[in-house]
Amino acid sequence: MNQSSPTFRLRVTRGGPGRGSRVEEYVIPWVEGMSLLEALFWIRENLDPSLAVRFSCRSANACKECSAHVDGTPAYLCVTRAQPGSTVRIEPLPRRRWLRDVAVVLNAEARS
């Protein structure tokens, strides 16, 4: 990767029940306006397609599928912007049944 192009780091919880939990760190080329969800897409396209995350509307904060813990606070990945030079921790939402990586069981009706 070109030294001069800006990057940032994501530290993402990987694994699932019965297979343990670990934190993987990824260095991601930053693009203007990039969201954390787009950063996870970049990982799935370029480094590891097995990364599990829920998403649907992608950038409109409408479907509420891409919720996760970002630096310890609940957030929607599609509306949280990546900052060049930063390191961001992404974890599955706590107190939900953990499926794998960032994906949990989302009980949609409970929030209707």
Partner 1 sequence: MAASFQHIETDVLVVGSGAAGMMAARAARDHGARVLIVDKSLLGRGGATVLAQMTVAVALGDAEPDDPTIHAADTVEGSRGMADPAIVAAIAERAPEVILEVERYGVHWARSHDGKHSQVVAPGHSRRRCVYVDVLNTGGALSAGLRKTIWRDPGIRHMSNVAITGIVVQDGVAVGAVGFRLQDLGPVSLGAAAVILATGGLTEIYARSSASANMTGDGYVLAVEAGARLRDMEMVQFFPIANLYPPLVGLDPIMWDPFRYKLGGRLLNGRHEEFMDSYAGEHAGQYITPRDTAAYAIFSEVRAGRGSPHGGAFLDFRMLAEDRLREAFGPVIDILARSGVDLTRDTVEVAPMAHFMLGGVEVDESMMTTVPGLWAVGELIAGMHGANRLSGNAITEALVSGRIAGEGAAHGGSGHPSAAAFDGPRRDEWERLQRFWHPREVAHDEVSIAALRKRLKRLMWEKAGPFRTEEQLAEALTELGQLEHSVTEAAMAREDSFPLSLLDKVDMRHMVLVSRAVLSSALLRRESRGAHVRLDYPGSEAPVSIIGCSTRGDGQWDVSMSSPLAEDVRR
Site for partner 1 in 18-57 (CB under 8 A): 32-35, 41, 44-46, 49-57
Distance (Å, whole) CA 13 – CA 8 = 17
Q: Which stretch binds partner 1 (CB under 8 A): 6-14, 21-29, 83-91, 95-103?
A: 95-103
- The residues pairing with 90 across neighbouring beta strands, listed in sequence order, are 12, 70
State how far the alpha carbon of 47 is from the alpha carbons of 21, 31, 110, in Å: 19, 17, 35
Stretch that binds partner 1, among 3-11, 20-28, 67-75, 97-105 (CB under 8 A): 97-105
Q: Hey, which residues between 63 and 92 contact partner 1 (CB under 8 A)?
A: 63-65, 78-81
